[in-house]
Amino acid sequence: MTYEVGLRRQSEIKMTQEVPSLSPQCKFFVVRKKRFCRMTVRPGWNYCGEHQPQIGTKDGKDEKRIPCPNDNKHTCYASKLQKHLTICNARQQEVPPYIKYNVNAPAETGPLKQPLSEIPTTEIEQIIQKVNLLFDTYLKDKIDTMPDREIHPAVMGEFLTEGRTESSLRHLRQASKLMHIMEDEGLVKDHTCYVELGAGKGHLSYFAWHAWCPAASGSSILLVERASLRHKRDNKIRNMPDNSNNVENVAQKLSPELSNKNKMDSYENINNYDNKDDGCKTKSLQSANINEGSFRLRADLAHLILDLVPAIQKNDSIVGFAKHLCGVATDFSLRCLSSANTLPKTRGVLIATCCHHRCSSNGYVAHKHLMELGIDKREFNIMIGIVSWATCGDGRSRDDRGKRIVDGPKPDSVQRDSRRRREEVGRRAKAILDWGRVLYLRECGFDARLTYFVPDTVSLENLCIVAKKI
Full pLDDT tens readout for the chain, 470 residues? 444 444 444 544 444 344 445 568 999 999 999 999 999 998 888 888 788 776 655 554 557 888 999 988 888 888 889 999 999 988 888 889 999 999 999 887 777 888 999 999 999 999 999 999 999 999 999 999 999 999 999 999 999 999 999 999 999 999 999 999 999 999 999 999 999 999 999 999 999 999 999 989 999 999 999 998 989 998 888 655 554 444 444 444 444 444 344 433 333 333 444 443 333 333 332 322 334 689 999 999 999 999 999 999 999 999 999 999 999 999 999 999 999 999 999 999 999 999 999 999 999 999 999 999 999 999 999 999 999 999 886 555 556 655 655 555 555 555 566 888 999 999 999 999 999 999 999 999 999 999 999 999 999 999 999 999 99
The pLDDT value given to residue 272: 45
Estimate the crossing angle of helix 121-134 against helix 413-443, to 10 degrees.
60
What's the predicted TM-score (pTM) here?
A: 0.75
Rounded to whole angstroms, the Cα distance separating 427 from 135 reads: 10
The pLDDT value given to residue 325: 96
The pLDDT value given to residue 251: 44
3-state secondary structure at position 222:
strand
Rounded to whole angstroms, the Cα distance separating 116 from 110 reads: 17
The pLDDT value given to residue 24: 84
Contact partners, residue 56, CB within 8 Å, separation at least 6: 62, 63
The pLDDT value given to residue 52: 78
Query: DSSP readout, 288-345?
Result: TTB---EEEEE--GGGB-GGGSHHHHTSSEEEEEEEEEETHHHHHHHHHHTSTTTGGG
Rounded to whole angstroms, the Cα distance separating 10 from 19 reads: 15
Taking phi over 0 as left and psi of -120 to 50 as alpha, with beta for the rest, 83 belongs to alpha
Burial class (CB in 10 A: 0-12, 13-18, 19+), 17: exposed
DSSP symbol at 158: H
The pLDDT value given to residue 244: 45
The pLDDT value given to residue 48: 87
Rounded to whole angstroms, the Cα distance separating 273 from 202 reads: 15
The pLDDT value given to residue 265: 37
Q: Are 75 and 1 in contact (CB under 8 A)?
A: yes
The pLDDT value given to residue 416: 63
The pLDDT value given to residue 440: 98
The CA-atom distances, in angstroms, between 121 and each of 375, 383, 415, 466 are 18, 13, 18, 36
The pLDDT value given to residue 50: 81
